[in-house]
């Protein structure tokens, strides 16, 4: 039944009100009006249980793993011992196997102003069996600790595989909620793609590096069991020449090793891996990326190596987004966009994940590569060969959310919302993948935004936006 009110259709009024409530007047997609607490969250106190030092003399702490080679048969296991170097060995064995193997780590330390690190161990184990659960043990005697991980299946085109997406995490109660939501998500992520800005230790006087240690202990509950694929953000630069710290990325590079040489890179700040049915390229927003630079030359060569028959899904991770319609950090990714966007279209990148902006946003498939300075064609246009750009810098750090948005919402912006959360990129087969964004205030299974991604190489049909 339609009620008449003042000459208008009541049903029509309700409908218009509903549309206005989910989408403020704009030219673009949806600007969510979800109401949230805008208070800044402090970092969790040093005596929080999530930062607890494991018991026992010199017990390994801050245990974390990442992929250790190009194809997924390798793993890098890292940990810190606080008192002395201790044992360099990792003992590991496949589930249902009695044969124990061991591998040796390297040990590093570094100083940062008046801080001296613990003994940072990195152990690369290669030639593991695919799709196999391994247990591993670090430390000795009463202080030894045991964990496990599962290797990915052998690289191939139709393998389902599930990645989690987290960015700009920090170590507040909101950060803790993000990790808990990821852990309890019924769609279980197998590997985390982390889009930069880890500990936010640089928020403290002289970039107090003890906050790098607390962060390492905080994430261990996930990072010891599944690989985190690392991207460097601006909070990893730790460049403070006034106190003599003039080597950019020093704490990050000492603590978080990645298999960059396996992909022919000359820097741990940009590299790539193949994992299951995905080819994942990691870029550095804060390293030289112009023509002729090492990053540019490497990226050009890497795109040439991508084989979509083997890895249908082509994913790029970076920290500073190319497309963001939030006011904060507006257009900071523009110079890299000018240099690299035409590659992304030429090689049909499926999706680009970025952080930096402390909010969530998803773009339409658009490109802005026609402009040649004199032709005036400087507006993004629909482009079926272009990636979807997803900003997911909403891990929950102490700087809080960015809520101010450019108005009206640009037409390339499909959905934007300033809430903390995480994403799940769930590859089903060579043609379809499902992306869901989970805001922290919702139940564990709720997706605040989602879409089916159609592979750009294998299926270019129209995509269906679910949210």
Give catalytic residues, as residue numbers.
329
Residue closer to Fe ion by CB (options 74, 233) is 233
Render the burial of 337-349: b for 16+ CB within 10 Å, e for the rest: bebbbebbbebbb
Residues 225-254, interacting with Fe ion (CB under 5 A): 233-234
Residues 331-350, interacting with Fe ion (CB under 5 A): none
Task: Tell me the closest approach of the beta carbon of residue 299 to Fe ion, in angstroms.
Answer: 21
Residue closer to Fe ion by CB (options 174, 197) is 197
Residue closer to Fe ion by CB (options 80, 336) is 336
Residue closer to Fe ion by CB (options 337, 356) is 356
Find the length of the chain: 467
Task: Tell me the closest approach of the beta carbon of residue 237 to Fe ion, in angstroms.
Answer: 10
Supply 70's token pair: 């190009």
Task: Tell me the closest approach of the beta carbon of residue 87 to Fe ion, in angstroms.
Answer: 36
Residue closer to Fe ion by CB (options 159, 269) is 269
- What is the rounded CA–CA span in Å between residue 360 and residue 120? 34
Task: Tell me the closest approach of the beta carbon of residue 314 to Fe ion, in angstroms.
Answer: 24
> The tokens 């060969």 sit on which residue?
385
- What is the rounded CA–CA span in Å between residue 49 and residue 409? 42
Distances from the Cα of 188 to the Cαs of 8, 73, 106, 330, in angstroms? 49, 21, 32, 33
Residues 177-206, interacting with Fe ion (CB under 5 A): 197
Asked if residues 430 and 386 have their Cβ atoms less than 8 Å apart, the reply is: no
- What is the rounded CA–CA span in Å between residue 246 and residue 242? 8
Q: Segment near Fe ion (CB under 5 A), from 198-206, 263-271, 353-361, 366-374? A: 353-361
Q: Which of 122, 274, 356, 454 binds Fe ion (CB under 5 A)?
A: 356
Task: Tell me the closest approach of the beta carbon of residue 248 to Fe ion, in angstroms.
Answer: 14
Task: Tell me the closest approach of the beta carbon of residue 381 to Fe ion, in angstroms.
Answer: 28
Examine residue 328 and tell whether it contacts Fe ion (CB under 5 A): no
With CB under 5 A as the rule, give the number of residues binding Fe ion.
4
Task: Tell me the closest approach of the beta carbon of residue 233 to Fe ion, in angstroms.
Answer: 4
Residue closer to Fe ion by CB (options 198, 451) is 198
Task: Please identify the residue of the shown chain whose CB is closest to the bound Fe ion.
Answer: 356
Residue closer to Fe ion by CB (options 178, 185) is 178
Contact residues for Fe ion, defined by CB under 5 A? 197, 233-234, 356
């Amino acid at each position: 039944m339609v009620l008449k009110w003042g000459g208008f259709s009541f049903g029509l009024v309700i409908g218009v009100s509903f549309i206005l409530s989910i989408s403020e007047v704009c030219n673009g997609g949806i600007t969510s009006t979800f109401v949230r607490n805008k208070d800044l969250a402090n970092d969790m106190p040093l005596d929080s249980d999530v930062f607890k030092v494991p018991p026992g003399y010199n017990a390994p702490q801050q245990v974390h793993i990442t992929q250790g080679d190009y194809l997924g048969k390798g793993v890098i296991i890292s940990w810190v011992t606080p008192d002395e170097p201790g044992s360099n060995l990792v003992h590991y064995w496949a589930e249902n196997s009695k044969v124990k193997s061991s591998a040796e780590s390297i040990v590093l330390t570094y100083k940062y102003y008046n801080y001296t690190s613990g003994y940072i161990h990195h152990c690369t184990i290669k030639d593991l069996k695919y799709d196999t659960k391994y247990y591993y043990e670090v430390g000795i005697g009463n202080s030894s600790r045991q964990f496990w991980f599962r290797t990915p299946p052998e690289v191939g085109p139709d393998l389902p595989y599930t990645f989690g997406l987290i960015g700009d995490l920090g170590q507040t109660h909101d950060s803790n909620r993000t990790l808990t939501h990821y852990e309890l998500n019924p769609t279980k992520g197998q590997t985390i793609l982390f889009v930069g800005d880890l500990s936010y230790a640089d928020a403290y006087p002289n970039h107090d590096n003890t906050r790098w240690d607390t962060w390492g202990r905080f994430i261990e509950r996930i990072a010891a069991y599944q690989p985190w694929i690392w991207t460097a953000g601006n909070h990893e630069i730790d460049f403070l020449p006034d106190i003599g710290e003039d080597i950019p990325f020093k704490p990050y590079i000492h603590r978080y090793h990645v298999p960059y040489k396996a992909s022919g890179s000359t820097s741990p700040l940009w590299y790539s891996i193949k994992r299951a049915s995905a080819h994942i390229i990691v870029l550095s927003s804060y390293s030289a990326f112009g023509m002729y630079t090492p990053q540019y030359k490497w990226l050009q060569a890497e795109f040439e190596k991508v084989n979509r028959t083997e890895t249908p899904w082509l994913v790029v991770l970076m920290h500073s987004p190319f497309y963001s319609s939030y006011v904060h950090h507006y257009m900071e990714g523009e110079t890299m966009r000018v240099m690299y966007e035409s590659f992304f279209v030429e090689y049909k990148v499926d999706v680009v994940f970025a952080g930096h902006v402390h909010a969530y946003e998803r773009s339409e498939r658009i490109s802005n590569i026609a402009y040649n300075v004199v032709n005036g064609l400087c507006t993004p246009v629909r482009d079926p060969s272009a990636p979807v750009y997803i900003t997911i810098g909403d891990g929950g750090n102490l700087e809080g959310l960015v809520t101010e948005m450019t108005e009206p919402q640009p037409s390339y912006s499909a959905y934007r919302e300033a809430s903390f959360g995480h994403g799940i990129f769930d590859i089903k087969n060579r043609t379809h993948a499902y992306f869901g964004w989970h805001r922290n205030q919702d139940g564990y299974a709720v997706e605040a935004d989602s879409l089916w991604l159609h592979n750009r190489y294998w299926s270019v049909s129209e995509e269906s936006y679910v949210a």
